[in-house]
Each structure stands twice: as C-alpha cells, then as structure tokens.
Structure 1
Amino acid sequence: MGLWVLEAEPILPSVNEKLKGVCWVGSRQPLQGGELAALRNIGANAISQTPFGWQADKNKPEIRWSLDAERQWWGESARGIRATADSSINLGISNMLKPHLWARGSWPGEIKMNSEEDWVLWFENYKSFIVDYAKLAAELDFPILCIGTELEKTVHRRTDWLEIISSIREVYKGKLIYAANFTEFEHVTFWDELDYIGIQAYFPIGEGQEPDLNQLKKGWKNPLASIEKLVRNYQLPVIFTEIGYCNTADAAAEPWVWPNERKESPLSEEVQARCYQAFFETAWKKPWLAGVYFWKWYPEGKRRDPDFSPQGLKAQEILEVNFLTVD
C-alpha cells in the first residue's frame, strides 16, 4: 500500500526592515536645503528618483534621453540625482533609481511595436537607455535599480528582457526590480531573474464616493490574494514601487486617474487619508512586503488641488504615524 505524501506549502519570504519610501519629484532648480530632513522627520527611510527617456510615438522604436541636458530639470539630471542622493544618504535615506519612459500622447503601458524589426530596434534602444542609468546607479552605489516601469505590452518577450537584465548586471551589482502595473504583474515573464517583484499598486479598493474604512480594507482582499500567489510561486519579496491616492472623494475607485482628469470630483482629504489607513491596516502588515513608495512627494511642498501628494493633509498624518511607529 502506497503512502500519500503531502507537499508542504512554500514558506513565504519575509523582511526584517521595510522600506518606508516616497516617489521623490525632481525639482526644476537645485534643492535649497532642509527638504530631505523634513521628509526624514516623518519617518521615511527611502526615496525613488526618476529620470526620463522620451518616446515620441508609442509605436515607433526611437527613444531619446540625456543624463545631463541643459534644458533638463535639475532634479531629473545626473547632477541633481547625485546631489539629492548625497543629501539623502547622509540622513539615512536609501535611494532607488527608477527611470521612466514618457510616451507622447500616451503612457508606457501602450508602447507596442508593429513589426518584429521595430521590436528589435526598440529593445536595442531601451537597453542603451537603461544601461546608461545602470552605470549611474552603480557609480552612486544605489542599492536598488528599477529596470522598467509599466511596459505592459513588452513583458511577454522574455528573451529580450533577459538580454537587458544580463547587460545591466554586467555594470551594476545591486538589487534589480521591475515596476509592473497592477494590471500587469501576473503576466511578467522574467520575475525569476530579478531580486524583487515590483508593483504599481493602484488597485481599485472602493466604489463610488466617500467609501468608509471597512469598505476600503475589504477592497484589498482580492489584490493581496493574487500577489501572495505570485510570491509563493517565485519566492521573492514584493515592493510597491508606487501607490497613491488623490485628495478626492472618488480616489479609491480609480486610483490611477490623473488629477487633471478629476476636475469635477469633490475634494476630500478624508477619503485620501482613509485609503492610506486601509493600506497600513492590510497590505503593510504582510511579511513579504519589503517596502512601499508613495506617489508623490514634492521637495517644495504640495502644489495643487487635486493631487496625489499627501503633503500638508490628513494623509500625511497617517503616513507619519505609521512610518514612525511600524517596523
């Protein structure tokens, strides 16, 4: 008579100290001093810095970029990234370099080539772009490099991405992550070659306007179950490379919608704060969540309404309480 052997469930990865981060907005002009100390005072220990490459057409392979162009915003240039890193590291704030592609009239998730020839060219161009920034990350000793953000229609091409990852690892020895959109993370074909699973966590967690905290917490149930399934499969910790909510009544329904498309939505810093609280009472407690970066944080303070920034609002109070008291 044979014996039934039950396979043990994989042990989920866990982390000891979480990254408590924000997506740092590169400023037009050099920092005046004190901006990063103010961030450290709310308990943050990490920032992501975002330089840009530019793609004029989402269906054409040309990409242009410059590490230090004259007309580039200071905070997005190599010199600004370097100065910001120097100031932040002195305060115990770690840096992730997270280059983005700006697709004119679209967004990175729509970048898709129409022929195999163009796909080859696009990946050649993208490899040159990201390796340039990998060299900068190596020079500045950044612990984490994000190799791509929301490139949803490219991630099925595993062989091309493996070549990019190999080229990056030749010049950069830190940890690698890819920032997958919340609609994309289950379809990425190369998680096994990275050090973290990265998710742009703009999951819808509530319907309509003015959802209460219990509704928002329930809204995390299905996304967390899907993420945990992926974690068990790949045995990798997760970082929310972005998460954020506008200060509007409908912020939880479609968190990804840009502020300029919310002009008709009533302002509500209460809903924004509830969304933050729901995150900290659910996702933040998961042992496999290695960190979070909240979109977004202006060096000079919050600048408009509506906006994603929690600065000066009730959401900042929620952020501060949790960053200062939760390990």
Structure 2
Amino acid sequence: MAVFPSSPRWSWLWLGLAALALLAALGLARRSAQPADPHLPASPSRSAVASAMPARPEDRLKGVNWVGADSVASQDLEPLVRAHVNWIAQTPFGWQAGAASPEIRMHTGAGSRHYWGESDRGLVRTAQQARQRGIHTLLKPHLWLRGPGGTWPGDISMTNEADWQTWFAAYTTFIVHYAELAEANGMEALCIGTELEKTVGHETEWRALIGRVRQVYHGPLTYAANWSGEFEQVKFWDALDYIGVQAYFPLSTSERPAKAALLKAWREPLARIASVQKRYGKPVLFTEAGYKTTPDAAIQPWVWPDRNALPATPDETTQRVCYEAMFETFWPQPWFRGIFIWKWYPGLQLNGPAHRHLDFTPQHKPAEQVMAQWYGR
C-alpha cells in the first residue's frame, strides 16, 4: 500500500502521478492488443525476418515448391501437413520471345496451354486452401523463354541500353501485378525474381523496382539468385528481407557418393554463403533445393533426368543421402531460415508416372521422410 505525505499539496501531486502512470499502463496494454497487419505472416514475423539471430522453430520456413495444377482440394495439402510443411512457393509465369527480347507477356487467366493453378484465380484459391491448413505462401513469379538466345532466365540480356530500359519497365509491370495480387490476398511473402543472372548488375533499376514493389506490398521480399555465383554478385540484398539462393551446388564428380563426401563438399558453398550473409546481415533462404532420384543426383543437381532413357532404375538412396547432407549442413546455422524443396506435385499417387519417380519430388520416397524429420524438429 502506498503512503502519501500528509500535506494536501503533496497528496494531490502523488495522486496525479499515480493517475498518469495508470493511464500510461492502460495505453501500453491497448497498443499491445492492436491486431496484427493481416497481410504480414504470423510466422515468420517482421522482426524475425530482419534478424540474423537464431531462428525459433516456428520461424523456420519449411517449404516446398508447389506445382500448379488444374484444381486444388484440401486433401491435396494433407500430405504437407503430415510432413510438417508450413510454406509453399507458387510459381506463375511470364513469357519472353527470346533472351534479347525486351517484351514480357503475362497470362493471368487459365487457358488451353496454361494450368489453372498458375492463373491469378488459381494462385489465390490455392493460397486460401493452404492458409486453412496453417500453410503460408511465397509467391514466386518466373520468366519462361520461348525463342532464340537460350531457354534459361539467366540468359536474358539486352543488346542496347534502350532495350534494357524497356525490359525493366516490362518486368516491373509484371512483378508489380503479382505484388498487388499478393497484397490483396494476404500472401505472406514475395520473391521478386528468379535466376535473372545477367540483369542483376543493373543495381539502380533493381532498387527502383524494389521501391515500387514496397509501395504496394508490405510483406517480406526476397530474390532467388542462382548458386553459380549470382548470389555473390547481387548488390541489393540490403533492400530485401531474405538472401535467396537456388541451391543446386554440384557436390560430387561420381555417382552414388557417400554422405561423408557430400558433407565435405558442402564446406566451400557454406563458406561462400556465410560470407555474403555476414556482409549484408540478412537471413538466408534456399528458394529452391532438391535432387533427382538418380545415381548422378549430386553431380549436376540442376539437370532434369533424361526422360528418353526410360525405363531407368530410380536411386532413392542417393536422393536420401543428398537430403541428409544438405539438412545437416544448413539447418543448424543460426542465420539460416529455411528451404523450399523442389518440387511437389499435388495429388501424386504412390504408383504415379515413371518419369515422376526419377523426378526431383521426394514424394513417396525416403527423402520425404528426411524432409519431414527435419521440418518436424
């Protein structure tokens, strides 16, 4: 119990101070009770995204790259729940006629040659269904090259400055469309580009694009830089929330490597990634990582299996060992925030098509159990 001085003047002063303290406490409680921004993810939080401190289990992005299909149902997401997945990456496409073409076409609706799951309507519906199961969405638009000059987005390069400006204007329109879609529908994170290796030297243009995106989207941002050195070339990591890496590092020169050899091979990429992380102070995210179900999975992890060579015998052991080495190397790192496994087919059955069994998916294979064990820790 408080005892006040006997003087009336001091009594009123002490009462006033007590009243002010009470009002301040009530105000603090009221501010603490304010609802969160509905467009920001419950996990990871803004502060968790910006921090390079050790992540709490609930802050980890335990993800898969989701393959857009012609529909989505709640039961398609149940295997993800069982595997402790809490994020999916959805991938709509823009289309370029060639690597030196500055125009970008968008197909935001479903058509005869485009999956419903890659349309605006499909992206939104899939995110809604995922959210109902406690799964967040990283919206991750890609570019698809159709014509001369290469087929990989990393080949995109203009021949003159005017075309570069036209390309960046078109690409900004493309990304801002998906930023607005993500904001309007509460998608929890956005990737502003994937493997656009020859464009990242245009730092001024990228920073302008990021500023434009920040005006319309208020969740965390990343960029998906290729393993081959692009992630070390990017100069605008400070303007983003995550350092995103497409983690297809070659780890072996022989088939069926032992886990000890893979763990040793990871040391050099780990040091390179840690150096970039230290320079910018941002957490690292593997926006893609995965391995084929083949004996040579660790030699060139980015190469798709040769479907013309079917039937071939899957090598689930090599895929599993590659998963184990990756998780054992990176999951304990305090600055590492998570992985989006490449890739996951909704509704894939145990006895699905043969090419899917050689494919990157861990579904119905020992690699899925490895992923689930690490995601469930």
TM-score (normalizing by structure 1): 0.92
1:123 and 2:168 aligned: yes
Give distance in 2, aligned partners of 1:257 and 1:139.
36
Match of 2:203 in 1: 158
Question: Partner of 2:80: helix, strand, or coil?
Answer: helix
Rg comparison, structure with higher value: 2
User: Mapping of 1:177-216 within 5 angstroms?
Assistant: 177-183=222-228, 184-216=230-262
Give distance in 2, aligned partners of 1:13 and 1:120.
38
1:57 partner letter: G
Q: Is the 8 A contact 2:110 2:116 kept in 1?
A: no
Match of 2:190 in 1: 145
1:220 and 2:220 aligned: no
Shift of 1:35: 0.6
1:32-59 deviation line (CA, Å, top 9, x unaligned): 4301122111111110000000011011
Give distance in 1, aligned partners of 2:307 and 2:212.
39
Match of 1:313 in 2: 365
Match of 2:214 in 1: 169
Match of 1:73 in 2: 115
Change in CA separation of 1:32 and 1:194 when aligned onto 2, cut-off 3 Å? closer
Shift of 1:80: 0.8
Change in CA separation of 1:119 and 1:23 when aligned onto 2, cut-off 3 Å? same
Give distance in 2, aligned partners of 1:147 and 1:308.
24
> Any stretches of 5+ residues in structure 1 without a counterpart?
1-10
- Once superposed, what is the RMSD of the aligned Cα atoms? 1.6
Shift of 1:286: 0.8
> Any stretches of 5+ residues in structure 2 without a counterpart?
1-50
Q: Which of 56, 65, 80 is equivalent to 1:39?
A: 80
Q: Which of 31, 35, 50 is equivalent to 2:91?
A: 50
Question: Partner of 1:285: helix, strand, or coil?
Answer: coil
Shift of 1:207: 2.2
Shift of 1:258: 1.5
Give distance in 2, aligned partners of 1:240 and 1:13.
17
Q: Greater helix percent: which structure?
A: 2
1:251 partner letter: A
1:281 partner letter: E
1:194-243 deviation line (CA, Å, top 9, x unaligned): 11100000011222101011011111101111111111110000110000
1:259 and 2:300 aligned: no
Question: Partner of 1:259: helix, strand, or coil?
Answer: coil
1:49 partner letter: Q
What is the identity percentage for the equivalent residue pairs of Structure 1 and Structure 2?
47
1:75-119 deviation line (CA, Å, top 9, x unaligned): 101111111111111111111000000112511010000111110
Match of 1:275 in 2: 322
Match of 2:345 in 1: 298
Give distance in 1, aligned partners of 2:130 and 2:198.
35
Match of 1:14 in 2: 54
Question: Partner of 2:245: helix, strand, or coil?
Answer: strand
Structure number with higher relative contact order (C-alpha < 8 Å, ≥ 6 residues apart): 1
Aligned length: 314
- Runs of 4+ aligned structure 1 residues displaced above 4 Å come to none
1:299 partner letter: P
Question: Partner of 2:342: helix, strand, or coil?
Answer: strand
